[in-house]
Every structure is written in structure tokens, then in C-alpha cells.
Copies of this chain bind each other. A is one copy, B any other.
Amino acid sequence: MTKVKVCAFSVSLDGYGAGPDQRKEQPLGKRGEELHEWIFPTKMFQKMYGKGEGTEGVDNDFADKSFENIGAWIMGRNMFGPIRGQWPDDEWKGWWGENPPYHVPVFVLTNHARKPISMKGGTTFHFVTDGIDSALDQARKAAGGKDIRIGGGVSTIRQFLLAGYIDEMHLAVAPVFLGSGENLFAGINLPELGFTEIQTEYGKATVHVILKKSSDLARKT
């Protein structure tokens, strides 16, 4: 059965999934890269971006797992690119070059319609203008029984969380404080939403926490 998952999503100790001032030259916002230091050296990341060998171990295992059995992705427009408002043309095709690391349909939430873009390696970007329910329906059909990964950013994950659509989350918590930016947890009560921590592992520059939602597991708060 298709699960809706957040995987390998990095946040700071004060709950920020990106720093302030996100823009083309700084896609993760100010100091946002510090959240992701755990993944850069891994074999998975190095293989994906074609730079040398990379490390094995806990971080690499989680990085690998985050791409396993994913049949479709959903992401917010800011994760897809820095352009705001109307698409000026068809130039921008994501941050990831000709062959993006998804290899499945990717549904991009936006207020501005655009034709799908087929990329090398099986990734197709579909632009969804009628909200998260529609994106989820389309992703479910496209996923063919595999899981759906909600990529990010923070605002997209918050929408899916609050709508009760997320079954499982793997958060990678970096031991830094960003102080401002986009906060994943503000006003969100994970136990009340039915989530329980089922696994914790320390990585090299992060704490991996797996949360699952289940009526059995749900704490009564």
C-alpha cells in the first residue's frame, strides 16, 4: 500500500528547515547548508552528483533509504526553483540539471500553470495548480502502489502534516540553531497528530529520527 513519506528532511535544533533569504545563489537560505552537512559526504550523494567515492554507514544508509520504493514525489515550488509568480518562459527546469535524481513523476505545487517537462532518466515535472489534495491524487495514481515522498520545503510538509496525509517522517536534525527561516514545528503538535518516535540513530552531523503515525501507536495527549 502506498505510504506518504517525508524522508531525509533536515531541520535545525530550533526547527528550521531552511534559513532566511532563500534565493537562486542560496537555495537553502542563509546557513541552510549547515542542515545538510550529514548527507554531502555520503556515497549516495557523491554517486548522485558524480564526485568520488563517499562514505558508508548510518548517514549513507538513511540517504539510500530515502530513495527506496518511491513512485512519485510532491514538492513545493520553492524546492523546484527560485522563480516566484508567473513563469516568464520554459527555461527553468529545476536545480538538478538534465537528469534529475528523481526518475519518477514529480508533482510541483504552484499557483501558475505550466506544461509538464520530461527530463532524462524518467523524471517528469507536473505542475499542479489546484492544491495538495489534487497533487496527492495524481501522485497516488502515478506511484503505482509505491510510496509518495513529500520532498519539501517546510511549507509543503506543514500543509500535508496538518491535513493528516503523512504516514511516516524521517527527520535529520542538525545540531545547529538557525534562529530564523522556515519553521517546521511552530504550532504543530506531532504527538497530537498521532506521531511517535520509533527510531533514533546518531549520524556524523545529525540525529536521525523516524516518526510513524498509527492509531495504535498514537499517544493519547
Contacts and interface: CB of A to CB of B under 8 A. Distances in A.
A178 B15 CA distance: 13
A175 B207 contact: yes
A104 interface: no
Given A13-B13, A15-B185, A173-B13, A221 B190 contact: no
A197 interface: yes
Interface string A68-100: 000000000000000000000000000000000
A30 interface: yes
Interface in A165-221: 171, 173, 175-180, 185-186, 188-193, 195, 197, 200, 202, 207, 209, 211, 219, 221
What's the number of copies of this chain in the assembled complex?
A: 2
Query: Of residues A15, A177, A178, A188, which shows the largest number of chain B Cβ atoms within 10 Å of its Cβ?
Result: A177
A33 interface: no
A192 B175 contact: no
Contacts of A180: 189, 192, 221
A219 B31 CA distance: 10
A178 B191 contact: yes
Given A14-B190, A15-B15, A178-B191, 11 more contacts: A31-B219, A175-B200, A175-B207, A177-B185, A177-B190, A179-B191, A179-B192, A179-B193, A180-B192, A180-B221, A202-B207
